[in-house]
Structure 1
Amino acid sequence: MSTNKDSDRYFTELTDALRTAGVPDGQITATVEDLRGHLAETGALPEEEFGPAAGFAAQLGGVVPLPAEPDERAENWTWTADIFNDRRMLAVHGDQGWEVETLDSLGRFVCRRSARATLRWEYRREVIAGRRRTKVLAELEPEGWELCGEWLVYGYFKRPRAATAGPAGALETPPATPLGQLFLSRRGKVALAVWLVLVGGAMAACFIGTLGMGGLAITIALASMFSALFTSQLETAKGRVETAKGRAEQSPPSP
């Protein structure tokens, strides 16, 4: 049976999480009254019925502006990183309040940061190729993770930090929008340097007359194709390794 003390403690935490997420007080009051009425009918404990208060607040949709009240002052920023640097940069930018809305056709993270209620975000990357997709979604969605973009064999998931940290997941003074848009690891920088050397050599040969415009175009296309294939191969191979590790961890030890 639910007790008043249990309910009061739970709804105090829920109210704080919703207020931190920028939900209007009137909406919070109405929501809490509805939930209290539901518990009065069922007699269940609030945490058993709804789950942890912070996570339930995120599920209620209070972490984004209401549809009828768009945040016109929200900042927008698009950036990208290679596969060896993406998780680190997502952690950095998520801690600065940047929410990934999607990945565009070039694999860039399209982000938004609200000016009214800035939250810290946490991210994770999972292999979701083939039959693994359904399993991963079934495991992560109940914990408040939302799929926000896909690239090759990977799926990127986001969750407001308030889902686990409560009011501490809010960001009081967001830093300025980063000036950069490309964040490469050492491997990424090496691949880019090789591409620049090949293209630079082709342009120099074209300039002195030993390579025509057609040859220059072919060289640039081949260099770009090689770079893309090499990067994709590295990303796919890394994804397969992560998948194999996951299966090994889930498999019971042999007798």
Structure 2
Amino acid sequence: MNTEPSTYFDELAAALRGAGVPANQIASTIAELRGHLTDSGTSPEEEFGPAADFAARLGGTVPAAAEPAGKAETWLWTADIYNDRRLLALHGDQGWEVEGLDTLGRFMCRRVPGAALRWEYRRELISGKRRDEVLDRLAPEGWEICGEWMLFAYFKRPKAASEGPAGALDALPERPGRWLFLSRKGKALLAVWMLLVLGAVAVTLVGVFDMPAYTAPFVALFGATGALVGLKRDATKGCRG
């Protein structure tokens, strides 16, 4: 049994190239695996199994008649902070890799048939001086930042780095038909804010109580501020939990 890590990873890289896995993905995956191996203190075979078998699990086998690897699927979706981590875990298990967040806060995902891996994600608060502390703490564990939105940063790493062969993906479920995922609490908060805005607009338009014209935007701003404070409080609890 080969126990030399450098030889093991050379064999793994060669096998992945033979399976059609892109070179940049091979380099990234092996770097993550090396980091995990350093932390675990075990040999490659003990942690991941034989190199050829592990490569087959990671890269898959692409039949000649199948769609060639490299034709990537893309998908944009979003969720509120009450279910984003659950959905990231679900979609990560289906091979969706988050490559960033757009200006609307949507996760920009990519998946390559024949070369997809399972991904795991985590969310962290990065407000104030926390950013450098969070990055320094997570980098040695193989976590890579994949997007930022307001007070939050999202991190990813292939599950192969933490679960070995169990992190490979054998089949790709169909891309979900939805793009918006709101929890019950998120829907309730949105409904309350909309009611505040509509109520303020109605009162201003009707002229009840001689309310000034700036009432509507003031109430809307007040509601939005309250919602943001509540979201930050709940997100802090969630990140610490």
TM over 0.5: yes
Q: Distance in 1 between matches of 2:83 and 2:39?
A: 40
**CA shift in 2, pair 1:198/1:242, >3 Å:** closer
Quick check: 2:120–2:159 contact (8 Å CA) kept in 1?
A: yes
Which residues of structure 2 form unaligned runs of 5+?
Answer: 31-36, 52-57, 60-68, 208-212
Q: Which AA in structure 1 matches 2:150?
A: L
What is the aligned counterpart of 1:106 among 104, 107, 132?
A: 104
Instruction: State yes or no: 1:235 paired with 2:231.
Output: yes
1:11 alignment partner in structure 2:
8
How does the TM-score come out when normalised to structure 1? Answer: 0.62
**Inter-CA distance 236–169: structure 2 relative to 1 (3 Å threshold):** same
Cα offset for 1:113? Answer: 1.2
Q: Which amino acid aligns with 2:174?
A: A
User: What is the CA RMSD across the aligned residues, in angstroms?
Assistant: 4.5
How far apart, CA to CA, are the structure 2 residues paired with 1:17 and 1:233?
51
CA displacement at 1:14 relative to structure 2: 6.9
The one-character-per-residue Cα deviations of 1:202-251 (angstroms, maximum 9, x if unpaired) are 89999xx959xxxxx988866764554333212222345567x59xxxxx
Is 1:199–1:219's contact at 8 Å kept on the other side of the alignment?
A: no
Identify if the C-alpha distance between structure 1 residues 97 and 198 changes in structure 2 by more than 3 Å, giving closer, same or farther: same
Question: Residue by residue, what CA displacement relative to the aligned partner does 1:130-150 show, whole Å, maximum 9, x if unpaired?
Answer: 222222211211111000111
CA distance in 1, matches of 2:112, 2:123: 23
Could you tell me the TM-score, scaled by structure 2's length?
0.65
SS at match of 1:234: helix
2:170 equivalent to 1:172: yes
* 1:96 and 2:97 matched: no
Asked if 2 retains the 8 angstrom alpha-carbon contact of 1:98 and 1:120, the reply is yes
2:65 matched to which residue of 1? none
Is the CA contact (8 Å cut-off) linking 2:21 and 2:114 kept in structure 1? no
What amino acid does structure 2 have at the position aligned with 1:230? G
Q: Which amino acid aligns with 1:229?
A: T
Query: Do 1:127 and 1:242's aligned partners in 2 also have CA atoms closer than 8 Å?
Result: no
- Check the 8 A contact 1:146/1:158 in 2, yes or no: yes
2:142 is the counterpart of 1:144: yes
Question: 1:48: how far off?
Answer: 5.5
Partner of 2:76: 78
Distance 1:103 1:182, change over 3 A: same
Q: Deviations over 1:18-74 (max 9, x none)?
A: 73995379x98xxx9xxxxxxxxxxxxxx559977589x9xxxx99xxxxxxx6521
Give the number of aligned pairs: 207
